[in-house]
Every structure is written in C-alpha cells, then in structure tokens.
C-alpha cells in the first residue's frame, strides 16, 4: 500500500503535470470550437488553428504512449 506522501509525489511529477496541461488544452480547444460554431461570422483562421493544435496534442499523446 502506498503512503499518502508517495501518492502526492507521484501526482506532482512532471509527466503528470504535462498530462494535466494537455487535458486542459483539449478542454479549452473544445470550448473555443463550440464558441466559434455559435458565432455567425465564422473564423476560418481560428478554426484551422484549433484543428492544428488538436492534431499536435493527439500526436504528442500517441508518441508518448499516452504517458509523458
């Protein structure tokens, strides 16, 4: 059984921090995409940038085996 200290240290490792940042980025990109869809004008450049960022994050996840 792991101690609370060991679990806390694992939660603070750089890999876990990176995973949290990636999850947060995916969440923010999803929100931005939804807002763009609601906008009447449409913003093709922003939509393309969001798509590129989503692809980059997906490649990062695949290349690291989902574990950073």
Residue range 27-68, pLDDT digits in tens = 888 888 888 877 766 677 888 888 888 888 888 878 777 665
Burial of 63 (0-12, 13-18, 19+ CB in 10 A): exposed
- The answer to whether the Cα torsion of 42, 44, 49, 53 is positive or negative is positive
pLDDT at site 3: 52
Query: pTM here?
Result: 0.57
Sorted by where each begins, the domain ranges of the chain are 14-63
Q: How confident is the model at residue 1 (pLDDT cuts 50, 70, 90)?
A: very low
| Mean pLDDT of the 20-24 span | 83
Number of residues in the chain: 68
Alpha helices in 1-68 (DSSP H): 4-11, 14-38, 44-63
pLDDT at site 4: 56
Q: How confident is the model at residue 13 (pLDDT cuts 50, 70, 90)?
A: low
């Amino acid at each position: 059984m792991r101690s609370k200290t060991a679990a806390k240290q694992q939660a603070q490792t750089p890999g876990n921090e990176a995973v949290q940042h990636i999850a947060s980025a995916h969440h923010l990109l999803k929100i931005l995409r939804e807002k763009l869809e609601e906008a009447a004008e449409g913003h093709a450049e922003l939509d393309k940038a969001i798509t590129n960022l989503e692809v980059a994050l997906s490649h990062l996840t695949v290349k690291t085996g989902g574990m950073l």
